[in-house]
Amino acid sequence: MRENDKKLPGLNYSGHELALWHRDQRINDRSFSCDVALAESTVIAVREKQKAWQNERNK
């Protein structure tokens, strides 16, 4: 892996880009809260509405 890293130095993050990448990783590591019940009920509601629209279209 180090050999590849040495061969492609222009593609490595440095300076501001490296700092931005580290910040992004810290944010990703913290994750975020998600209301799973709300997401699941939204999926169900959308599917029901799509079926209703499909039934109306097929009349």
The full set of domain ranges for the chain reads 2-57
Give residue 11's pLDDT: 67
Length of the chain measured in residues: 59
Question: What pLDDT band is residue 5 in, cutting at 50, 70 and 90?
Answer: confident
Q: Calculate the alpha carbon distances from 40 to 14, 44, 49, 54 in Å.
A: 41, 6, 14, 21
Region 49-58: mean pLDDT is 95
Answer yes or no: is pLDDT of 8 > 80. Answer: no
- The yes-or-no verdict on residue 35 having pLDDT over 70 is yes
Is the CB of residue 27 less than 8 Å from the CB of residue 20?
Answer: no
